[in-house]
Structures are given as structure tokens and as C-alpha cells.
């Protein structure tokens, strides 16, 4: 967070003792106490970045003291998202400029995607700039990249890389969600020693325990997992709490489990329950909000406003061991203060972050966050172009092909199909929407091969460098030449998405920041993403968010079939099937 000097402390003491004038006085309003649950009348004094006094005493002011009229308003702590993803086409800087206007002042960025696309050195560049962003970040560092090296290519980062970041940067607060938890169940040394190292340094370890039974949860807790955000049923919630895990309940663009889980939340102790977003897409961020929306929905579903706000302030602060700095409106804490019309309306009228006005009536009240000067130089592509011949798929003596069939936004299943051939070459089937799909990591032009059904877009080729969570080069389509043109287009842009048909580039979206993020402000990025989505729908795609679905096709922690550098991977079997 923000370290105090001795002079900072002496000045805070002087202000609290009325020996020195505060910089800001919020007067005439009410204050929400997250510890007792009470709302009491009082003033709040700010000196520099911190709260100096909270109560009924009148401040000693001077000509430099700013008076904020809080009459009719209630002050609450700035919201904390304990599990966010700030690299969903936007980047951490542009995201912060919008998030703060919605009342979020601290965000834990589960940064496995960010880290994996720019590497440790690029990540350090982000950390340096992040201190000047419009919100404060806590960061998650991946325990392993890729999640399953035996099928996704060699491990890219050493335990020293992770140790170095934890040792040098206190804002690196946790190991990011361990999606490859089956490696823990298998008792693998490499991942266990990384978790052990993080825990020995006092860091948390985020779980991704979707589908784990109660007995498996015991194993994961024994290994050092400290939280999970994957509860989708009431029993999931209770099991995780029983085993000592902080349990995060999400409601946002990716999944919305809050309504179903609200009765269970209300029936359980709430000290270890945290409300999170688990990522929010640009349109939802702009139209619905961020943590203010999560809180509003929690209240609508039946969670008492006082409990909901605690679950987005003091609870996450305690989990990350930063309650000495954020999570409450108490002396010595960072002055992250939201002024609300009422607890029942969590959208802030004014947002003060680190002691200065950051947003007023939903509009950013200070300058934009500085952009990290990071492209793909820290993790470049080892190849600059591909050829149509790269996409020829040959298999002798194979009667049927295991095809990746898209079920919904993230889930796939296996269907076995007999596809046409020319000798040993297996052909796509445009009429039945079965296209080739190939994937390569950045360090080697080695293609994993497969076939995909259910995308629906009638075009020759699509290429993307957004490929959760290894972010190499994903290419799929019906025509080898179009696929090559799409791939070469994104390689030339050094990251992005390209749609090609009939030898013509129909659309190309540049994503130069790590090859997965844009430098555009979120308000400008939104129409750019929508234009691409509209094109795919025009071409016949029926998926609600095809960009998200495409980006998840290489993700090896969701059932059933995924494309990897080794070929088509069956998640349930843990083996390559094509």
C-alpha cells in the first residue's frame, strides 16, 4: 500500500490532535462503521493520503483546508474487488480510469494472463507505472505457466522469478488462481514447492477449484490454497467455508452465481465471504458498473446492505492482510472514501482515492492513468510469418475425428465425426460448420491440430493472439490461404484478431499491449470490440460473445476438449486425443 514516514505519522498525530489543520474535512454527513455495522453522524478529516480523524469534533481549519459538504450523504470505505481480471482487451491503466468512477479504489488483479503475455520483466514495468494509476492494485503471480507443461509446452518461469517478485514488491499479494489444481491432487513437487514458497513469504494462494469434491477440497486446503471463487451451488459455499477457505462469490460478465447463493450466504457467518467480479467486460463496465453493480445486485437478491458492503471492504482487506491500510474509515488508513446517497444505493456520488477527489457523479475528476510502455518485446514471437502449408492436417488410418464442439460461452464437448479426405489429408466441412483449428506458442512454430464445430462464422480464416491462458497464436477456418493471411495479419500487428474471407481481410483489431490488450480508453475500445462481434454475427455466428468463446478454446481447466500445442486435449482424461 502506501508506506508512511515518521514525518507522515507526526503530521497525522498533529491533525488528529487539532494541532494542525487537515487538508480536507467532510462535514455534516454520516459514516458507516464496518466493524459495528452502525451509521453515526460525524465528520471525517483527511491529511495527505490518510484519514486523520473520524467523529464529532470540529476541525481546526486554515485557508488551505477544503470543506466537502456531506450533508445527506453517508461515507463508506472504497470498494475492494478481491478477484478481478484487468486485462480483458482493456489494460490495467485504462481499466483503472473507469473502475474508480464506480467506487473501486483497490483491486486484486489475478494476473496470470497479463503475466503470461509479457513475462516477468514486462510485468515489472507494469508494476512501476501502477503506482500512479487511478486505483491501487494488488497483484496475483502465477504459480506455473503454462498450467499443464506436459501438454502445453515447457514451463516458462522459474521459482526464482516468482520469489523475486514476491520479495521485491509487497503489492504482489498472492499466487494467482491455480487452475491446474489436478497437479496438486497428483502431489507434483514443482507446483507444491512454489505454493510452499509463497506461503512461507506470507502470501495467499488463490484457488480455482471448480468441480472439486469435498474430499479433494481437503487436499487443496492441506496444500496451501487459501480461497476459492468457484462456488456455484450452496453446498460449494459451505464446504469451502468449513475447510477454512475465504469464499468469494462472483457476479459479473463471466459468471453470475450470486442470486442462487444468496440464501446460503444469509444463513452462514459472513466473516470469510467476499463479493467479487471475477472480471467484467467493457460494455458491462460502462453500462452497469463494477463493484457498485455487484453490491446493488447483492442487495436486490436479499443481502442486507451492511453485510454486502462489509463483504466488499473489510472482508477482502483482512483476507489480503491490508486492513491496516484499507477496508475501513478509521484513523491512519488510506483515505479511500465514497459518499453515497444511502447504503441501499451503492453507486457513489463522490469518490476520494488516496485522499484526493478521483470521481464526481460518475465522471473521472483527475488525469488518466499513465500507460505502461509494454508491447511484446519481453515475450516476442519467434516467427514472423506462417504459410498455408502449415495448416494441412494429415492423419493416416483414422476413421473418425474427435471434434471440439462448442456448448456455451466457455464449455465444450467431444463429438466424433467422419470427415472427408484427400489421401491422408483431413478436410474441413464448411456445410456442417466443422473447421480446422490450430495453436502454437510464441517461442516455436509448432502447431497443435484439431477440428472445431459450433462457431458458425462463415469465413475462410480467423486468427487471434488472445488464447487464454498461454496467448500464443490461435488460427481456425476452412481455407488454408485465408487462415495464413489472418495469422500473418495479426503477427504483423504484433497482436490482435483478424477475420479473412476470399483472400481479403474483413476486419483487423490491433491489441499491441502484450498481444492481448489495447491502449484505447475503455469507451473507445467498446465500439471497436462491438464492430468485430457484429461482423462475426453477420457471418453467421450465433454465440452471444464469440470473442470470449474463441479466447477460451485453449484453456485446459474447463471441460471437455481444448486445443493445445500438443493437439486436441481431453480435460477429463488428461490426455491428447488427436
Segment 172-176 mean pLDDT: 96
Residue 532 C-alpha cell reads as 468485430
154 pLDDT band, cuts 50/70/90, is confident
What is the model's pLDDT at position 140? 97
Please check whether residues 157 and 286 belong to one and the same domain. Answer: yes
Distance CA 12, CA 458 (A): 64
Classify residue 333: in a domain, yes or no.
Answer: no
Most confident of 84-88, 207-211, 251-255: 84-88
Please check whether residues 230 and 126 belong to one and the same domain. Answer: yes
Classify residue 167: in a domain, yes or no.
Answer: yes
Q: Is the pLDDT of residue 254 over 90?
A: no
Please check whether residues 109 and 248 belong to one and the same domain. Answer: yes
CATH of the domain at 231: 3.20.20.140
Among 298, 324, 353, where does a domain finish?
298
Q: Which residues pair with 426 in a beta bridge?
A: 421
DSSP string covering 307-355: HHHHTTTHHHHHHTT-TTTSSS--TTSB--EEEESBTTB-S-SEEEETT
Among 298, 318, 344, where does a domain finish?
298
Classify residue 282: in a domain, yes or no.
Answer: yes
Q: Give the number of domains in the chain.
A: 2
What is the model's pLDDT at position 381? 96
**87-91, 368-372, 396-400, 514-518: least confidently modelled range:** 396-400
Q: Is the pLDDT of residue 476 over 90?
A: yes
Segment 345-372 mean pLDDT: 98
Please check whether residues 395 and 293 belong to one and the same domain. Answer: no
What is the model's pLDDT at position 559? 83
Its domain, for residue 409, covers: 388-576
Q: Is the pLDDT of residue 39 over 90?
A: yes
Q: Is the pLDDT of residue 252 over 90?
A: no
Classify residue 234: in a domain, yes or no.
Answer: yes
Please check whether residues 521 and 423 belong to one and the same domain. Answer: yes
Please check whether residues 292 and 416 belong to one and the same domain. Answer: no
Please check whether residues 131 and 262 belong to one and the same domain. Answer: yes
The string of pLDDT tens digits covering residues 514-535 is: 999 999 999 999 999 999 999 9
* CA dihedral of residues 152, 156, 160, 166 (deg, nearest 10): -80
**Of the candidates 473, 454, 457, 476, the residue with the CA atom closest to the CA atom of residue 465:** 473
Whether residue 529 contacts residue 285, with contact meaning beta carbons closer than 8 Å, is answered with: no
Please check whether residues 250 and 130 belong to one and the same domain. Answer: yes
Q: Is the pLDDT of residue 249 over 90?
A: yes
Segment 79-89 mean pLDDT: 96
Classify residue 108: in a domain, yes or no.
Answer: yes
What is the model's pLDDT at position 409? 87
Classify residue 27: in a domain, yes or no.
Answer: no
Distance CA 86, CA 88 (A): 6
Please check whether residues 135 and 283 belong to one and the same domain. Answer: yes
Mean pLDDT of the chain: 96
* Beta-carbon contacts of residue 468 (< 8 Å; ≥ 6 apart): 113, 551, 552, 554, 555
What is the model's pLDDT at position 345? 98
Among 275, 298, 321, where does a domain finish?
298
What secondary structure letter does DSSP report for 144? S
Distance CA 420, CA 117 (A): 37
Classify residue 37: in a domain, yes or no.
Answer: no
Please check whether residues 136 and 243 belong to one and the same domain. Answer: yes
**Of the candidates 562, 49, 85, 536, the residue with the CA atom closest to the CA atom of residue 336:** 49
Please check whether residues 288 and 397 belong to one and the same domain. Answer: no
Classify residue 337: in a domain, yes or no.
Answer: no
The string of pLDDT tens digits covering residues 114-131 is: 999 999 999 999 999 999
The pTM is what?
0.96
Amino acid at each position: 500500500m502506501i508506506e508512511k514516514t515518521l514525518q507522515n505519522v507526526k503530521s497525522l498525530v498533529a491533525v488528529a490532535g487539532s494541532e494542525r489543520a487537515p487538508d480536507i474535512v467532510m462535514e455534516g454527513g454520516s459514516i458507516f462503521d464496518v466493524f459495528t455495522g452502525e451509521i453515526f453522524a460525524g465528520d471525517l478529516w483527511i491529511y495527505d493520503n490518510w484519514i486523520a480523524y473520524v467523529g464529532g469534533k470540529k476541525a481546526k481549519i486554515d485557508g488551505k483546508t477544503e470543506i466537502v459538504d456531506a450533508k445527506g450523504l453517508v461515507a463508506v470505505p472504497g470498494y475492494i474487488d478481491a478477484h478481478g481480471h484487468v486485462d480483458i482487451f482493456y489494460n490495467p491503466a485504462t481499466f483503472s480510469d473507469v473502475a474508480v468512477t464506480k467506487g473501486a479504489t483497490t483491486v486484486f488483479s489475478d494476473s496470470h494472463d497479463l503475466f503470461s503475455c509479457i513475462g516477468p520483466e514486462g510485468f515489472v514495468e507494469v508494476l512501476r507505472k501502477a503506482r500512479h494509476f487511478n486505483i491501487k492494485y494488488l497483484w496475483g503471480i502465477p504459480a506455473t505457466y503454462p498450467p499443464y507443461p506436459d501438454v502445453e509446452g515447457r514451463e516458462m518461469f522459474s521459482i526464482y522469478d516468482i520469489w523475486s517478485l514476491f520479495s521485491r514488491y509487497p503489492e504482489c499479494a498472492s499466487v494467482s488462481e491455480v487452475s491446474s489444481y489436478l497437479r496438486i491432487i497428483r502431489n507434483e513437487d514443482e507446483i507444491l514447492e512454489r505454493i510452499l514458497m509463497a506461503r512461507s513469504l506470507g502470501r495467499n494462494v488463490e484457488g480455482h477449484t471448480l468441480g472439486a469434491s469435498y474430499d479433494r477440497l481437503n487436499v487443496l486446503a492441506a496444500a496451501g490454497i487459501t480461497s476459492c471463487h468457484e462456488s456455484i451451488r450452496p453446498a460449494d459455499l459451505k464446504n469451502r467455508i468449513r475447510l477454512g477457505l475465504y469464499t468469494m462469490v462472483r457476479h459479473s460478465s463471466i459468471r453470475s452465481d450470486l442470486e442462487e447463493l444468496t440464501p446460503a450466504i444469509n444463513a452462514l457467518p459472513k466473516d470469510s465471504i467476499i463479493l467479487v467480479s471475477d472480471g467484467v467486460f467493457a460494455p458491462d463496465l460502462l453500462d452497469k458498473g463494477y463493484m457498485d453493480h455487484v453490491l446493488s445486485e447483492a442487495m436486490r437478491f436479499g443481502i442486507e446492505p451492511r453485510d454486502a458492503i462489509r463483504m466488499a471492504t473489510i472482508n477482502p482487506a483482512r483476507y489480503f492482510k491490508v486492513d491496516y491500510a484499507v477496508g475501513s474509515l478509521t484513523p491512519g488508513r488510506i483515505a479511500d472514501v465514497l459518499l453515497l446517497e444511502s447504503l441501499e444505493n451503492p453507486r457513489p456520488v463522490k469518490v476520494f482515492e488516496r485522499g484526493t477527489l478521483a470521481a464526481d457523479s460518475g465522471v473521472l475528476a483527475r488525469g488518466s492513468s499513465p500507460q505502461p510502455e509494454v508491447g511484446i518485446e519481453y515475450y516476442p514471437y519467434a516467427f514472423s510469418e506462417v504459410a498455408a502449408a502449415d495448416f494441412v492436417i494429415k492423419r493416416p488410418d483414422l476413421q473418425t475425428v474427435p471434434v471440439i464442439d462448442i456448448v456455451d460461452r466457455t464449455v465444450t464437448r467431444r463429438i466424433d465425426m467422419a470427415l472427408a479426405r484427400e489421401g491422408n489429408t483431413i478436410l474441413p466441412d464448411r456445410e456442417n460448420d466443422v473447421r480446422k483449428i490450430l495453436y502454437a506458442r510464441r517461442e516455436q512454430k509448432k502447431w497443435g491440430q484439431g477440428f472445431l464445430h459450433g462457431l458458425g462464422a462463415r469465413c475462410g480464416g480467423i486468427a487471434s493472439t488472445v488464447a487464454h491462458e498461454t496467448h500464443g497464436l490461435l488460427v481456425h477456418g476452412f481455407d488454408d490461404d485465408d487462415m495464413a493471411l489472418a495469422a500473418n495479419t495479426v503477427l504483423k500487428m504484433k497482436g490482435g484478431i483478424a477475420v479473412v474471407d476470399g483472400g481479403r481481410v474483413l476486419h483487423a483489431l490491433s491489441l499491441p499491449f502484450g498481444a492481448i490488450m489495447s491502449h484505447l480508453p475503455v469507451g473507445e475500445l467498446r465500439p471497436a470490440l462491438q464492430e468485430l462481434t457484429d461482423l462475426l454475427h453477420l457471418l453467421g455466428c450465433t454465440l452471444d460473445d464469440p470473442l470470449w468463446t474463441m479466447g477460451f478454446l485453449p484453456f485446459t481447466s474447463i471441460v471437455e476438449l481444448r486445443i493445445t500445442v500438443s493437439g486436441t486435449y481431453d480435460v477429463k482424461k488428461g490426455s491428447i486425443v488427436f
